[in-house]
Amino acid sequence: MRFATVEYQGRTFVGAVDKAGEKVTPISVGDINDLFRGARGEPKGPAIALSSVKLKAPVPLPLRNIMCVGKNYHEHAREFSASGFDSSSTGASDAIPTAPIIFTKVPQSVIGPEETIRYPTGVSEQLDYEAELAVIVGQGAGKGGRGIAKADAMKHVWGYTIINDVTARDIQRRHKQWFLGKSMDTFAPMGPWAVTADEVDLATAGIRCWVNGELRQDAKIADLIFDIPTLIETISAGITLLPGDIIATGTPAGVGIGFKPPKFLKKGDVVAMEVDGIGRLTNQVG
Ligand code: MG
Protein backbone atom coordinates (compact mmCIF):
# COMPACT_ATOMS: atom_id res chain seq x y z
CA MET A 1 0.00 0.00 0.00
CA ARG A 2 0.94 3.63 -0.43
CA PHE A 3 0.47 6.23 2.27
CA ALA A 4 0.81 9.97 1.87
CA THR A 5 0.93 12.81 4.34
CA VAL A 6 -1.32 15.46 2.84
CA GLU A 7 -2.63 18.94 3.54
CA TYR A 8 -6.23 19.60 2.61
CA GLN A 9 -8.52 22.44 3.64
CA GLY A 10 -6.12 23.52 6.37
CA ARG A 11 -5.71 20.05 7.88
CA THR A 12 -2.74 17.68 7.68
CA PHE A 13 -3.50 13.96 7.78
CA VAL A 14 -2.37 10.56 6.50
CA GLY A 15 -4.21 8.88 3.67
CA ALA A 16 -3.99 5.72 1.60
CA VAL A 17 -3.26 6.44 -2.07
CA ASP A 18 -5.00 4.31 -4.70
CA LYS A 19 -3.09 2.31 -7.31
CA ALA A 20 -3.83 4.80 -10.05
CA GLY A 21 -2.39 7.63 -7.96
CA GLU A 22 -5.57 9.64 -8.34
CA LYS A 23 -7.24 9.54 -4.93
CA VAL A 24 -6.30 9.58 -1.28
CA THR A 25 -8.51 8.13 1.47
CA PRO A 26 -7.95 9.48 5.00
CA ILE A 27 -7.07 6.78 7.53
CA SER A 28 -7.38 6.57 11.30
CA VAL A 29 -3.85 7.24 12.56
CA GLY A 30 -2.35 10.22 14.35
CA ASP A 31 0.53 10.54 11.95
CA ILE A 32 2.33 8.18 9.62
CA ASN A 33 4.75 7.08 12.35
CA ASP A 34 1.85 5.11 13.88
CA LEU A 35 1.96 2.89 10.79
CA PHE A 36 5.71 2.35 11.18
CA ARG A 37 5.06 1.27 14.79
CA GLY A 38 2.59 -1.37 13.61
CA ALA A 39 -0.80 0.37 13.61
CA ARG A 40 -3.25 -0.61 10.89
CA GLY A 41 -5.00 2.50 9.72
CA GLU A 42 -8.67 2.08 8.87
CA PRO A 43 -10.33 4.25 6.23
CA LYS A 44 -12.27 7.19 7.64
CA GLY A 45 -14.10 9.54 5.39
CA PRO A 46 -14.49 9.69 1.63
CA ALA A 47 -11.66 9.56 -0.91
CA ILE A 48 -10.31 12.93 -2.05
CA ALA A 49 -8.81 13.69 -5.46
CA LEU A 50 -5.01 13.83 -5.15
CA SER A 51 -5.05 16.84 -7.45
CA SER A 52 -6.87 18.83 -4.77
CA VAL A 53 -4.45 18.10 -1.88
CA LYS A 54 -0.90 19.26 -1.21
CA LEU A 55 1.46 16.32 -0.81
CA LYS A 56 3.88 16.84 2.06
CA ALA A 57 7.05 14.91 2.82
CA PRO A 58 5.61 11.50 3.74
CA VAL A 59 7.57 11.19 6.99
CA PRO A 60 7.00 14.38 9.00
CA LEU A 61 9.23 16.13 11.52
CA PRO A 62 10.27 15.44 14.18
CA LEU A 63 12.39 12.93 12.32
CA ARG A 64 15.28 11.51 14.33
CA ASN A 65 17.75 11.30 11.50
CA ILE A 66 18.27 10.64 7.84
CA MET A 67 21.07 8.13 7.65
CA CYS A 68 22.71 8.14 4.25
CA VAL A 69 25.06 5.87 2.39
CA GLY A 70 27.86 7.27 0.26
CA LYS A 71 29.29 5.64 -2.87
CA ASN A 72 27.00 2.61 -2.87
CA TYR A 73 26.83 1.88 -6.62
CA HIS A 74 30.00 0.79 -8.45
CA GLU A 75 29.66 3.14 -11.43
CA HIS A 76 28.84 6.11 -9.20
CA ALA A 77 31.76 5.35 -6.86
CA ARG A 78 34.06 5.42 -9.90
CA GLU A 79 32.58 8.63 -11.36
CA PHE A 80 32.77 10.35 -7.96
CA SER A 81 36.36 9.27 -7.37
CA ALA A 82 37.37 10.39 -10.88
CA SER A 83 35.61 13.76 -10.52
CA GLY A 84 38.13 15.20 -8.08
CA PHE A 85 35.35 16.04 -5.60
CA ASP A 86 35.77 12.89 -3.47
CA SER A 87 37.83 13.67 -0.37
CA SER A 88 37.28 10.09 0.86
CA SER A 89 39.31 8.60 -1.98
CA THR A 90 42.79 9.17 -3.35
CA GLY A 91 42.09 7.65 -6.76
CA ALA A 92 40.85 4.67 -8.69
CA SER A 93 42.55 2.14 -6.41
CA ASP A 94 40.27 2.92 -3.45
CA ALA A 95 37.22 4.21 -5.34
CA ILE A 96 35.05 1.27 -4.23
CA PRO A 97 34.45 1.29 -0.47
CA THR A 98 35.25 -1.86 1.49
CA ALA A 99 32.66 -1.03 4.17
CA PRO A 100 29.54 1.16 3.93
CA ILE A 101 30.19 4.91 4.18
CA ILE A 102 27.47 6.28 6.46
CA PHE A 103 26.74 9.96 7.05
CA THR A 104 23.62 11.90 7.98
CA LYS A 105 21.58 14.88 6.83
CA VAL A 106 19.86 17.30 9.18
CA PRO A 107 16.18 16.21 9.35
CA GLN A 108 15.03 19.81 8.92
CA SER A 109 16.47 19.72 5.40
CA VAL A 110 13.44 17.64 4.34
CA ILE A 111 10.90 19.17 1.97
CA GLY A 112 7.94 17.61 0.19
CA PRO A 113 7.08 16.95 -3.45
CA GLU A 114 6.88 20.09 -5.62
CA GLU A 115 8.48 22.23 -2.91
CA THR A 116 11.40 24.41 -3.96
CA ILE A 117 15.03 23.40 -3.53
CA ARG A 118 16.43 26.74 -2.42
CA TYR A 119 19.61 27.66 -4.30
CA PRO A 120 22.15 28.58 -1.60
CA THR A 121 23.31 31.76 -3.29
CA GLY A 122 26.60 32.99 -1.89
CA VAL A 123 27.24 29.70 -0.11
CA SER A 124 27.63 27.18 -2.96
CA GLU A 125 27.93 27.40 -6.73
CA GLN A 126 28.05 23.65 -7.40
CA LEU A 127 24.66 22.18 -6.64
CA ASP A 128 24.05 18.53 -7.55
CA TYR A 129 21.20 16.00 -7.41
CA GLU A 130 21.23 12.36 -6.22
CA ALA A 131 18.23 10.05 -6.72
CA GLU A 132 18.01 7.50 -3.92
CA LEU A 133 15.80 4.71 -2.64
CA ALA A 134 15.11 5.49 1.02
CA VAL A 135 14.32 2.71 3.49
CA ILE A 136 11.74 3.46 6.19
CA VAL A 137 12.45 1.45 9.33
CA GLY A 138 9.49 -0.27 10.98
CA GLN A 139 8.75 -1.98 14.26
CA GLY A 140 10.47 -5.22 13.29
CA ALA A 141 7.77 -7.52 14.70
CA GLY A 142 8.30 -6.17 18.21
CA LYS A 143 12.01 -6.92 18.27
CA GLY A 144 14.50 -4.30 19.29
CA GLY A 145 16.31 -2.47 16.54
CA ARG A 146 19.85 -3.14 17.77
CA GLY A 147 22.17 -5.90 16.61
CA ILE A 148 19.98 -6.91 13.68
CA ALA A 149 21.46 -9.78 11.68
CA LYS A 150 21.36 -9.62 7.89
CA ALA A 151 18.99 -12.58 7.80
CA ASP A 152 16.45 -10.69 9.96
CA ALA A 153 17.00 -7.24 8.49
CA MET A 154 14.09 -7.15 6.04
CA LYS A 155 11.66 -7.73 8.94
CA HIS A 156 12.69 -4.27 10.13
CA VAL A 157 11.90 -2.60 6.80
CA TRP A 158 8.42 -1.06 6.88
CA GLY A 159 8.74 0.29 3.37
CA TYR A 160 10.29 2.87 1.10
CA THR A 161 10.17 6.36 -0.29
CA ILE A 162 12.43 8.42 -2.58
CA ILE A 163 14.95 11.03 -1.41
CA ASN A 164 16.88 13.51 -3.51
CA ASP A 165 20.20 13.75 -1.60
CA VAL A 166 20.91 17.29 -2.84
CA THR A 167 24.60 18.09 -2.43
CA ALA A 168 26.75 21.21 -2.59
CA ARG A 169 29.85 19.68 -4.18
CA ASP A 170 32.18 22.59 -3.46
CA ILE A 171 31.25 22.49 0.23
CA GLN A 172 31.49 18.68 0.30
CA ARG A 173 35.00 18.83 -1.14
CA ARG A 174 36.28 21.78 0.88
CA HIS A 175 35.17 20.47 4.27
CA LYS A 176 36.09 16.80 3.72
CA GLN A 177 33.25 15.49 5.88
CA TRP A 178 30.00 15.43 3.90
CA PHE A 179 27.52 16.66 6.51
CA LEU A 180 27.76 20.37 5.74
CA GLY A 181 27.37 20.11 1.98
CA LYS A 182 24.38 17.78 2.26
CA SER A 183 22.38 19.29 5.11
CA MET A 184 21.50 22.76 3.90
CA ASP A 185 17.91 23.91 4.15
CA THR A 186 15.69 22.16 1.54
CA PHE A 187 18.42 19.65 0.56
CA ALA A 188 16.31 16.53 1.22
CA PRO A 189 13.21 16.44 -1.01
CA MET A 190 11.22 13.34 0.00
CA GLY A 191 8.21 11.58 -1.51
CA PRO A 192 5.87 11.43 -3.27
CA TRP A 193 4.61 9.03 -0.59
CA ALA A 194 5.65 6.09 1.57
CA VAL A 195 5.01 2.60 0.21
CA THR A 196 4.98 -0.67 2.10
CA ALA A 197 7.89 -3.03 1.45
CA ASP A 198 5.84 -5.40 -0.73
CA GLU A 199 5.35 -2.64 -3.34
CA VAL A 200 9.01 -2.61 -4.41
CA ASP A 201 10.70 -5.62 -6.01
CA LEU A 202 14.32 -4.96 -5.04
CA ALA A 203 15.53 -7.57 -7.55
CA THR A 204 14.10 -5.76 -10.58
CA ALA A 205 13.23 -2.16 -9.60
CA GLY A 206 14.83 0.64 -11.59
CA ILE A 207 15.82 4.08 -10.33
CA ARG A 208 15.92 7.06 -12.68
CA CYS A 209 16.47 10.81 -12.57
CA TRP A 210 15.80 13.56 -15.09
CA VAL A 211 16.89 17.18 -15.08
CA ASN A 212 14.65 19.35 -17.25
CA GLY A 213 13.48 16.16 -18.96
CA GLU A 214 16.99 14.90 -19.77
CA LEU A 215 17.58 11.39 -18.39
CA ARG A 216 20.68 11.57 -16.19
CA GLN A 217 20.51 8.51 -13.91
CA ASP A 218 19.18 5.10 -14.93
CA ALA A 219 20.12 2.06 -12.83
CA LYS A 220 18.81 -0.93 -10.92
CA ILE A 221 18.43 -1.06 -7.14
CA ALA A 222 19.94 -4.55 -7.36
CA ASP A 223 23.26 -2.91 -8.30
CA LEU A 224 23.81 -1.57 -4.76
CA ILE A 225 27.32 -2.43 -3.53
CA PHE A 226 26.02 -2.92 0.04
CA ASP A 227 22.46 -4.24 -0.02
CA ILE A 228 19.74 -3.23 2.43
CA PRO A 229 20.31 -6.15 4.87
CA THR A 230 24.02 -5.28 5.00
CA LEU A 231 23.25 -1.61 5.66
CA ILE A 232 20.82 -2.47 8.45
CA GLU A 233 23.25 -4.93 10.05
CA THR A 234 26.04 -2.36 9.85
CA ILE A 235 24.10 0.58 11.30
CA SER A 236 22.23 -1.38 13.95
CA ALA A 237 25.37 -3.05 15.27
CA GLY A 238 25.84 -0.14 17.66
CA ILE A 239 22.87 2.17 17.07
CA THR A 240 19.33 1.09 17.92
CA LEU A 241 17.17 1.64 14.85
CA LEU A 242 13.74 3.10 15.61
CA PRO A 243 10.49 3.04 13.64
CA GLY A 244 10.49 6.02 11.31
CA ASP A 245 14.25 6.14 10.88
CA ILE A 246 15.20 6.75 7.26
CA ILE A 247 18.15 5.18 5.45
CA ALA A 248 18.93 6.76 2.07
CA THR A 249 20.73 3.93 0.31
CA GLY A 250 22.97 5.87 -2.09
CA THR A 251 22.77 7.18 -5.62
CA PRO A 252 23.73 5.55 -8.94
CA ALA A 253 25.95 6.99 -11.66
CA GLY A 254 24.87 10.05 -13.61
CA VAL A 255 25.10 12.85 -11.04
CA GLY A 256 26.19 16.28 -12.27
CA ILE A 257 29.87 15.81 -11.42
CA GLY A 258 29.90 12.59 -13.45
CA PHE A 259 29.83 14.68 -16.66
CA LYS A 260 32.72 16.53 -18.27
CA PRO A 261 32.27 19.39 -17.80
CA PRO A 262 30.07 18.90 -14.74
CA LYS A 263 26.36 19.67 -15.11
CA PHE A 264 25.50 21.55 -11.94
CA LEU A 265 21.95 22.58 -11.11
CA LYS A 266 20.81 26.12 -11.85
CA LYS A 267 17.86 28.15 -10.64
CA GLY A 268 14.78 27.08 -12.54
CA ASP A 269 15.94 23.50 -13.16
CA VAL A 270 13.34 20.80 -12.58
CA VAL A 271 14.60 17.55 -11.04
CA ALA A 272 12.36 14.49 -11.31
CA MET A 273 13.17 11.04 -9.98
CA GLU A 274 11.43 7.69 -9.99
CA VAL A 275 11.82 4.31 -8.36
CA ASP A 276 9.68 1.50 -9.80
CA GLY A 277 6.94 0.61 -7.34
CA ILE A 278 7.05 3.97 -5.57
CA GLY A 279 6.34 6.83 -7.95
CA ARG A 280 7.82 10.14 -9.04
CA LEU A 281 9.30 12.93 -6.92
CA THR A 282 9.62 16.31 -8.61
CA ASN A 283 11.16 19.53 -7.30
CA GLN A 284 12.34 22.76 -8.88
CA VAL A 285 15.43 24.70 -7.94
CA GLY A 286 14.56 28.29 -7.06
MG1 MG B 1 23.74 10.36 -1.61
Q: How far, in Å, is the centroid of ligand 1 from the Cα of 167?
A: 8
Alpha-carbon Rg for the chain in angstroms: 18
Q: Which residues 6+ apart lie within 8 Å of 201 measured at CB?
A: 276, 277
pTM of the model: 0.96
Does domain 66-285 sit in CATH 3.90.850.10?
Answer: yes
Q: Where are the domains of the chain?
A: 2-55, 66-285
Residues 2-55, CATH architecture: Roll (2.30)
pLDDT at 142: 63
Looking at every residue in the chain, the average pLDDT score rounds to: 95
Is the preceding peptide bond at 192 cis, omega within 30 degrees of 0? yes
Can you give the pLDDT at residue 84?
A: 86
136 CA to centre of ligand 1 in angstroms: 16
Single-letter amino acid, residue 191: G
Q: How far is the CA of 243 from the centre of ligand 1 (A)?
A: 21
- Interacting residues of 241 by C-beta distance below 8 A, sequence separation 6+: 137, 140, 145, 146, 148, 156, 232, 235
Residue 142 Cα to ligand 1 middle (Å): 30
Distance CA 281, CA 273 (A): 5
* Cα 101 to averaged position of ligand 1 atoms, centre (Å): 10
What are 147-197's pLDDT values in tens digits? 999 999 999 999 999 999 999 999 999 998 899 999 999 999 999 999 999
pLDDT (tens digit per residue) in 12-62: 999 999 999 999 999 999 999 999 999 988 999 999 999 999 999 999 998
CA neighbor of 33 nearest in space, from 61, 66, 65, 67: 61
Query: pLDDT tens digits for 109-135?
Result: 999 999 999 999 999 999 999 999 999
